[in-house]
Amino acid sequence: MSDVTLCRVRVPWYVHPYFAATLSAVGAILSSLILKRWEPVGALRVAVGLLAVPPSTFLVWTFIRWIRGLDELEHRIVFQAVSFAFVTAILAMIGMEGLEKAGVLRNVGWESAWEGMVFLYVAGYIWARRRYR
Amino acid sequence: MRNRLRVLRAERGWSQAELAARLGVSRQTVNAIETEKYDPSLPLAFRIAQLFAGRIEDVFDPDGAG
Q: What is the pLDDT along chain A (133 residues), one digit of tens a residue?
A: 333 334 455 678 888 888 999 999 999 999 999 999 998 899 999 999 999 999 999 999 998 998 888 899 999 999 999 999 999 999 999 999 999 999 998 887 777 788 888 899 999 999 999 999 8
Task: List, in order, residues 6 or more apart from B32 with CB less than 8 Å away.
Answer: A73, A132, A133, B38
User: What is the count of structural domains for chain A?
Assistant: 2
Of A53, A70, A87, the domain-final residue: A70
For residue B36, is pLDDT > 80?
Answer: yes
> Which CATH homologous superfamily contains domain B2-53?
lambda repressor-like DNA-binding domains (1.10.260.40)
Determine whether the interchain pair A5/B37 forms a contact, defined as Cβ–Cβ distance below 8 Å: no
Share of chain B above pLDDT 90, in %: 91
Determine whether the interchain pair B29/A76 forms a contact, defined as Cβ–Cβ distance below 8 Å: no
Q: Does B49 touch chain A (CB under 8 A)?
A: no
Question: What is the pLDDT, as a whole number, of residue B37?
Answer: 94
* Mean pLDDT, chain B, integer: 93
Residues of A in contact with B26 (CB under 8 A): 5-6, 8, 71, 73-74
Question: Do residues A17 and A56 both lie within one domain?
Answer: yes
pLDDT interval class at B55 (50, 70, 90): very high
Question: What is the pLDDT, as a whole number, of residue A3?
Answer: 37
Burial A100-118 (b: 16+ CB within 10 A, else e): eeeeeeeeeeeeeeeebbe
pLDDT in tens, B6-25: 999 999 999 999 999 999 99
Determine whether the interchain pair A5/B24 forms a contact, defined as Cβ–Cβ distance below 8 Å: no
CB B41 within 8 A of CB A72: yes
Residue spans per domain, chain B: 2-53
Question: What is the pLDDT, as a whole number, of residue A2?
Answer: 37
Question: Do residues A85 and A107 both lie within one domain?
Answer: yes
State how far the Cα of A17 lies from the Cα of A25, in Å rounded to an integer.
12
Question: Do residues A75 and A112 both lie within one domain?
Answer: yes
For residue A78, the enclosing domain spans 71-133
pLDDT (average), residues B32-57: 95
Q: Is the ipTM of this complex over 0.90?
A: no
Question: Do residues A58 and A81 both lie within one domain?
Answer: no
Question: Do residues A50 and A84 both lie within one domain?
Answer: no
Determine whether the interchain pair B32/A132 forms a contact, defined as Cβ–Cβ distance below 8 Å: yes
Of A70, A98, A122, the domain-final residue: A70
CB B2 within 8 A of CB B60: yes
**In A1-133, where does DSSP find H-type helix?**
17-37, 42-49, 53-68, 72-101, 113-131
Question: Do residues A54 and A99 both lie within one domain?
Answer: no
DSSP string spanning A39-61? ---HHHHHHHHTTTHHHHHHHHH
Question: Do residues A33 and A89 both lie within one domain?
Answer: no
* B-chain residue closest to A4, CA distance: B28
